[in-house]
């Protein structure tokens, strides 16, 4: 990243202050079969912002010449607008212009960490650089075989008596939009997500939350979806992310609070584990995992290469086509999030920094672009792969399970790790660079790809 000089535009900027939770406010994940402790209408009274904290930050804004744009006690946010100089004084920063190594820019950015009032855990929007990349890939070579999403549902044994009716699935999309004619290159990812969920859970309602590709935009999209009291999503699909150590800590912490809110409100969040193997696209020669997939509040979705004939799976291995520049599944061990209780019964290797960290991914599905998904973009047939296809695939399966079970699964980790390999196709062949597939859970494909009917039966058993 290249520094181009100081930020000289005097146009006002809008920022988001993320507040700490009220004293004693500790969200607990709604983990199947336990229902959410609080519903959306009452959650804020227990885990929202303290009114006194919000009042204090309003005084802080007034003192520093910043204007309030809006606030939400339940979501713990205060939206402010101010000129660049006022924002620099308020947070002790210098705004600059930056260009990314790939030539994109210039973007407004920071050269130092902001100084925060004690009531806030993060200020988002001062840094406008992209924080995430989309985890989808078009094949460079002619695909060996491609699959329509309904075909994958049959191969993965999705419960035939379900279609997601009565469920709402949220899709998080950054830096783009879509039109009725699917226009624009940026829409390939949007249409992949919508078409996979629409084909595999045709009875579900789909709500797409668009936001800029910044820490502020990403946070706002997840937080708004989690707290949406109109559409009430029970599943959230995220196909975007970046190396967890590439995030600044306050932004990542703010994102984590939004993901914790989702889990506490009974929302199952699925996220792509990355398409660049165990390095997650970093060039330091070390393994890295992708965030938000590395969050313990997220069902991390890795990738496989699937071969089927005559309606049956012939082989399924770890997706790793790096030798022909066709990508590989992400996966590894978090250096930020400690080993969760529900992973203590499996053999998660130590993280590169030596800590016992959260293992990624949890589950997997077909992701190799050379065995990709048949979709339509700009009205034309296309083939797209990547773990960004696996997140909506799993979101659709969760929606169908929710329908049959009669209530949301919520944070499904504890249940999945209790069920173990019996509800999955174990992937035991291949690697993603630093990690090798093995029997049971591994840092390439987690427990493996789904056996939908076996999973539903096991979840039903846990809930009875």
For 37-80, write each residue's pLDDT tens digit.
Answer: 888 988 888 999 999 999 999 999 999 999 999 999 999 999 99
Question: What does the radius of gyration of the chain's CA atoms come to, in whole angstroms?
Answer: 21
Question: Which CATH number describes the domain made up of 133-463?
Answer: 3.40.50.200
pLDDT recorded at residue 177: 45
* pLDDT confidence of residue 313: 98
pLDDT at 183: 33
Cis check for the bond before 405: say yes or no (omega within 30 of 0): no
Backbone angles phi, psi at 95, to 5 degrees: -80, 135
Integer angstrom CA distances of residue 139 from 91, 136, 284, 309, 325: 45, 10, 26, 21, 9
- What confidence tens digit (pLDDT) does each residue in 345-361 have? 999 999 998 999 999 99
Tell me the C-alpha distance between 210 and 178, whole Å. 9
The whole-model pTM stands at 0.95
DSSP 323: G
Comparing C-alpha atoms, which of 150, 108, 144, 101 is closest to residue 1? 101
Token pair belonging to 151: 């075909």
Residues of the chain with CATH 3.40.50.200: 133-463
pLDDT digits (tens, 9 = 90+) for 228-274: 999 999 999 999 999 999 999 999 999 999 999 999 999 999 999 99
Give me the catalytic one of 31, 136, 237, 388. Answer: 388
CA distance 184 to 268: 30
Residue in 119, 189, 228, 362 annotated catalytic: 189
**Contact predicate 369/453, CB 8 Å:** no
Residue 101 confidence (pLDDT) above 90:
no
DSSP 228-272: -TTT--SEEEE-EEEEGGGS-HHHHHHHHHHHHHHHHTT-EEEEE
Q: How many residues does the chain have?
A: 464
Q: Is the pLDDT of residue 298 over 50?
A: yes
CA distance readout (Å), 463 to 34, 35, 377: 9, 11, 40
Output 311-315 pairs: Cβ under 8 A, ≥24 positions apart. 311/154, 311/155, 312/155, 313/155, 313/425, 315/429
The whole-chain average pLDDT of the chain stands at 94
Of 119, 163, 193, 290, the catalytic one is 193
Reported as a single tens digit per residue, the pLDDT across 313-371 is 999 999 999 999 999 999 999 999 999 999 999 999 999 989 999 999 999 999 999 99
Instruction: State the Cα–Cα distance between residues 45 and 28, nearest whole angstrom.
Output: 14
Report how far apart, in Å, the C-alpha atoms of 26 and of each of 251, 265, 266 are.
Answer: 19, 13, 15
List the single range of 281-285, 297-301, 427-431 with lowest mean pLDDT: 281-285
**Cβ distance 3 to 98 under 8 Å?**
yes
Q: What is the pLDDT of residue 378?
A: 78
237 burial class (0-12, 13-18, 19+ CB within 10 angstroms)?
buried
Whether 241 contacts 251, CB under 8 Å: no
Express each pLDDT in 114-161 by its tens digit: 999 999 999 999 999 999 999 999 999 999 899 999 999 999 999 999
Q: What is the rounded distance in angstroms from the CA atom of residue 68 to the CA atom of residue 247?
A: 27
Bridge-based pairing state of the strands 133-134 and 240-243: antiparallel
Quick one: pLDDT band at residue 185, thresholds 50, 70, 90?
Answer: very low
Element (H, E) at 399: helix 387-405
User: What are the phi and psi torsion angles at 322 (to 5°)?
Assistant: -65, -25
At residue 186, the pLDDT reads 53
Contact 112, 134 (CB under 8 A): no
Read off the tokens for 401. Answer: 């399970």
Whether 189 is catalytic is: yes
Q: Does 68 participate in catalysis according to the annotation?
A: no
Neighbours of 324 (CB within 10 A): 10
State what percent of residues in the chain have pLDDT above 70: 97
């Amino acid at each position: 990243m290249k520094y181009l000089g100081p930020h000289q535009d005097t146009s006002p900027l809008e920022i988001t202050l993320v507040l700490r939770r009220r004293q004693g406010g500790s969200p607990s994940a709604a983990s199947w079969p336990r229902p959410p402790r609080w519903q959306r209408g009452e959650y804020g009274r227990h885990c929202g912002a303290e009114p006194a904290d919000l009042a204090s930050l309003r005084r802080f804004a007034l003192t520093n010449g910043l204007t309030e744009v809006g606030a939400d006690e339940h979501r713990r946010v205060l939206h402010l607008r101010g000129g660049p100089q006022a924002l620099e004084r308020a947070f002790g920063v210098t705004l600059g212009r930056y260009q990314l190594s790939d030539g994109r820019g210039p973007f407004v950015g920071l050269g130092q960490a902001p100084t925060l009032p004690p009531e806030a855990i993060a200020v988002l929007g001062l840094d406008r650089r992209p924080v995430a990349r989309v985890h989808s890939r078009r094949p460079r070579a002619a695909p060996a075989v491609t699959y329509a999403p309904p075909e994958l549902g049959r191969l993965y044994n999705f419960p035939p008596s379900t279609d997601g009716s009565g469920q709402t699935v949220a899709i998080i999309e950054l830096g783009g939009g879509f039109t009725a004619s699917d226009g624009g290159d940026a829409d390939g990812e949007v249409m992949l997500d919508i078409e996979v969920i629409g084909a595999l859970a045709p009875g579900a309602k789909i709500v797409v939350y668009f936001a800029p590709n910044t820490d502020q935009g990403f946070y706002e999209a997840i937080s708004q979806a989690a707290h949406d009291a109109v559409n009430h999503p029970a599943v959230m699909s995220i196909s975007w992310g970046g190396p967890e150590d590439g995030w600044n800590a306050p932004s990542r912490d703010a994102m984590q609070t939004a993901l914790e809110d989702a889990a506490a409100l009974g929302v199952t969040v699925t996220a792509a584990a990355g398409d660049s193997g165990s390095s997650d696209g970093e060039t330091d020669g070390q393994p890295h995992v992708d965030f938000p997939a590395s969050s313990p509040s997220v069902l991390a979705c890795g990738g496989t290469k699937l071969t089927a004939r005559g309606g049956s799976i012939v082989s399924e291995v770890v997706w790793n086509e790096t030798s022909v520049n066709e990508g590989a599944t992400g996966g590894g061990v978090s250096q930020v999030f400690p080993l969760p209780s529900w992973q203590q019964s499996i053999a998660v290797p130590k993280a590169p920094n030596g800590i016992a960290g959260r293992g990624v991914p949890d589950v997997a599905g077909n992701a190799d672009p050379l065995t990709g998904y048949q979709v339509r973009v700009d009205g034309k047939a296309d083939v797209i792969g990547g773990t960004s296809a696996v997140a909506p695939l799993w979101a659709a399966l969760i929606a169908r399970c929710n329908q049959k079970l009669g209530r949301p699964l919520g944070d499904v980790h504890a249940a999945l790790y209790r069920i173990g390999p019996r509800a999955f196709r174990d992937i035991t062949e291949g690697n993603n660079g630093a990690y090798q597939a093995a029997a049971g859970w591994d840092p390439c494909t987690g427990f493996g790809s789904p056996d939908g009917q076996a999973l539903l039966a096991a979840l039903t058993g846990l809930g009875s």
